[in-house]
A and B are shown apart, each in its own frame.
Chain A
Amino acid sequence: MSRVYFRRNNQVLPYLFLTPALVFLALFMAYPLTETVVKSFYAYDLTSRVLNLVGISNYIELVHDPMFQTAAKNAILFVIFSVLVQIPLGTVLAAVLDRGVTSNASLTFRTIIFSPLVLSIVAVGLLWQLILDPLVGLASAVVKAVGLHPPPLGWLGDPKIAIYVIMAIAFWQYIGFVTLLMFAGLQRIPEELYQAATLDGAGPITSFWYVSLPMVQNALIVTSLLTMIGALRVFDFVYILTGGGPANATQVPATMIYKEAFFLGRMGYANAVSVLLLLATVGLGFVQIRFSRHS
């Protein structure tokens, strides 16, 4: 075999190996993506035979649509609270599991913290629906038992608090995921650093603040961005617990897309929301890649 043969094949072979993946990506990612973007400039229904070109009307309508404003506001709230609640709590739990308890206790707590993560979201949703039932639910009973009044419109029926209740349930399930990622980061910190900190007179909190946190900075960034992207795309919890109600108060972009496309039959409009959601998640993904490379 000549050197030229190998050189030529070395140029072709990588592309040959990449072809199946590229074809797969083109078929299942690029094509639907292009279709979604193109059709966001049309008005049509799932069963209608005619597509009406409406230009950027769908996007203009979105700006004035109260449902989209609610969905966008809820998505932003979800993102902010995910970072403010899940990341600190998950990091503290991971630190406790890593150094705060014995290895046997760590195993038990890990099982407890991670167990909601393996449950089906549908099962979790239905379970919480029972707990939050306004008449016979455990949550109202506990609140009454301590002398307080449960919300008169119900935990999931009050438009002012329903989205926060959904967030709390979502955080309860996903806190294990954040803890898992942070725990993996913490376990990579060399023991010598903690020993040195102890010799310098640092206690557990000082060690956490000055040793653990700086060393898991990269894990923190990645986990935060993954959590934010997940929060932006949330669908299942909202759909199961409230369906976006009462009166659209808990709509998020993903449930709005579903409602517009399959309930109201406005496929073009749903595509426009999808495009905006895509831009937001791609933007966050881009930030994640930049930070990962930087670190």
Chain B
Amino acid sequence: MKTILLLRKLKALATTVACGAALLTHSATADTTLRVWGLSGPSGEYFAGALKRFEKANPGIAGKFSAYPNEQYKTAIQVGVRSADPPDVYQNWAFERAARMMRDGFAVDIGDFTKELSATALSEYTFKGKLYGVPFDRHGKYMWYNVAYFRDHNLSPPNSFDELIDVCKKIRATDPQMVPIGLGASEPWTIDAYISVFNQKLVPEDVRKADTALSAPADSLFTDLGYIAALQKILDMQSAGCFNDGITALTPEAARSMFANGMCAMHYEGTWCLVVFDNEGLKNGYQGFRLPDFKNQKGSTGAHLIIADGFQVHPITEKRGTRESAIAFLKFILSPQEQAEFAKETKALPSVPAARNYLSDATPIFLWALKDTSEATVEVAHLDTTLDRAISDVYLRGYQDLVNHVKTPEQIMSEVHNEAVLIQKQRNAQQ
């Protein structure tokens, strides 16, 4: 009898253990929590809200959003993807930064998003023919101009680079106190915006692509004279009086405020600044144009500088069983309704053009920029997002030396060439 009772107890214990193990196994194979990492601030608030709406639309999936300030995030994400508890979905900038995550094995192919995004938008996260992320905002950079000032001084938006120089000269001649174009390059990416576009216009496309990919022969890397000409154009603008004094001492934010407060007639910046202009008193008082073309330029005309920001999916999703919900979340935030909500909350340009159908309250300039950016066929990316970091660093510090007349365009390009040769050598050695 005692033996029977003991056997029964053992059976019950075995059943309990088996049930427990089954539960554990289930929870290990199908994690229902979707971990999303992104930036704090307005976009972070939007994504936290979007994740809640996604949970509601997908019962059984719990979202967990972790937000970090911009500078902190750049480090946190690099450490986070290698940690024991990485995010399933994480915000990351397009081009080289996204490509690096792919190369290091921290991003997976996410399949087909052709229904949601244009081919140009998808190209920002497409590497080796596969899609490793999706942009959720795509800002365009424009030369903004003060409409009232242009009208009062009989000025027109220029159609060529020479005309832009003429506009600067006219402003200086008629109004010495007015700065034609505000430029704050205490952070050198503001000059990188000009050079990225100038390179597209002045260097043949196949040369640029080979140099960027470091696939050109070592002795010809970044030696095309167009690169030097692009840097020289900044000096031409400077000698024509286009910019303010103390370029490298002025912050980008101060230059932006100069334009918003009527202290300069033009300012080249991304569409994220629209909200600043509006809040600082220039609402409906400005218009924009893309950086004009050069005569006999080598690149395609009408190129547009676009800064894209999006999400990538971590390979851990396969182990956790969250791959499908991660991709479903990306599809969810790229629906026109959600994209419109994102634009309303953050004042950023959404990457899905159809969002405009839900943005009837947006300002005319916002809708114009959204249309113009989404229709751009020739896209230019910032050099510091497409080049190897070490090469882009030589460029970035070169810009500051250029406008401070410490180095010539030839000296800067010689340094860029030398660094590119070094990096190419290192990469070849690794392969």
Using a CB–CB cutoff of 8 Å, the interface residues on chain A facing chain B are: 45-49, 129, 132-135, 151-159, 242-243, 245-248, 262-265
Contacts and interface: CB of A to CB of B under 8 A. Distances in A.
A49 B105 contact: yes
Contacts of B263: 135
Given A153-B249, A265-B389, A243 B186 contact: yes
Interface in B198-255: 244-251, 254
Interface in B57-114: 74-75, 78-79, 81-82, 100-101, 104-106
B400 A47 contact: no
B45 interface: no
A47 B104 contact: yes
B401 A246 contact: yes
Given A47-B100, A155-B249, A246-B404, 20 more contacts: A45-B104, A46-B82, A47-B78, A47-B81, A49-B104, A133-B249, A134-B250, A135-B245, A135-B263, A157-B186, A157-B250, A158-B248, A158-B249, A243-B186, A245-B187, A247-B398, A262-B74, A263-B393, A264-B389, A265-B78
Contacts of A265: 78, 389
A242 B247 CA distance: 13
A154 B246 contact: yes
B249 A132 contact: yes
A153 B74 contact: no
B188 A245 contact: yes
Given A47-B106, A243-B186, A246-B400, A134 B100 contact: no
Interface string B325-353: 00000000000000000000000000000
Nearest to B404: A153
Interface string B378-398: 000000000001100100011
B393 A154 contact: no
A151 B247 CA distance: 12
B186 A46 contact: no
Q: Which 9 A-B pairs have the closest CB atoms?
A: A154-B249, A134-B246, A157-B249, A154-B246, A157-B248, A246-B400, A46-B78, A246-B248, A247-B397
A71 to B, nearest CB: 13
B258 interface: yes
A242 B406 contact: no
23 contacts: A46-B82, A47-B78, A47-B81, A47-B100, A133-B250, A134-B245, A134-B249, A135-B244, A135-B246, A152-B245, A153-B246, A153-B247, A154-B248, A156-B248, A157-B247, A157-B248, A157-B250, A159-B406, A243-B187, A245-B187, A245-B397, A246-B186, A246-B404
A152 B246 contact: yes
Given A152-B245, A156-B249, A246-B401, A46 B79 contact: yes
A157 B246 contact: yes
Interface in B110-161: none
A55 to B, nearest CB: 15
Contacts of B82: 46-47
A193 to B, nearest CB: 50
A154 B250 contact: yes
Contacts of B75: 46, 262
Contacts of A247: 248, 397-398, 400-401, 404, 406
A211 B79 CA distance: 57
Interface in B356-397: 389-390, 393, 397
A36 to B, nearest CB: 16
B400 A245 contact: yes
Contacts of A47: 78, 81-82, 100-101, 104, 106
Nearest to A50: B430
Contacts of A159: 400-401, 404, 406
Contacts of A263: 389, 393
Interface in B379-429: 389-390, 393, 397-398, 400-401, 404, 406
Contacts of A48: 104
Nearest to B250: A134
Nearest to A47: B104
A245 B248 contact: yes
Given A46-B82, A135-B258, A264-B390, A245 B250 contact: no
Nearest to B390: A264
Contacts of B101: 47
A57 B389 CA distance: 20
Contacts of A152: 245-246
Contacts of B100: 47
A156 B404 contact: no
Given A47-B81, A135-B263, A248 B397 contact: yes
A79 to B, nearest CB: 25
Nearest to B401: A247
A51 B166 CA distance: 54
A237 to B, nearest CB: 14
A49 B104 CA distance: 7
Contacts of B245: 134-135, 152-154
Contacts of B251: 129
Interface string B173-196: 000000100000011100000000
Nearest to A130: B254
B369 to A, nearest CB: 27
Contacts of A154: 245-250
Contacts of B250: 133-135, 154, 157
Contacts of B248: 153-154, 156-158, 245-247
Contacts of B247: 153-154, 157
Interface string B296-340: 000000000000000000000000000000000000000000000
A277 B100 CA distance: 30
A153 B245 CA distance: 6
Nearest to A259: B393
A248 B258 CA distance: 26
A272 to B, nearest CB: 16
Contacts of B249: 132-134, 153-158
Contacts of B258: 135
A254 B422 CA distance: 25
B186 A156 contact: yes
B177 to A, nearest CB: 11
A242 B186 contact: yes
Contacts of B397: 245-248
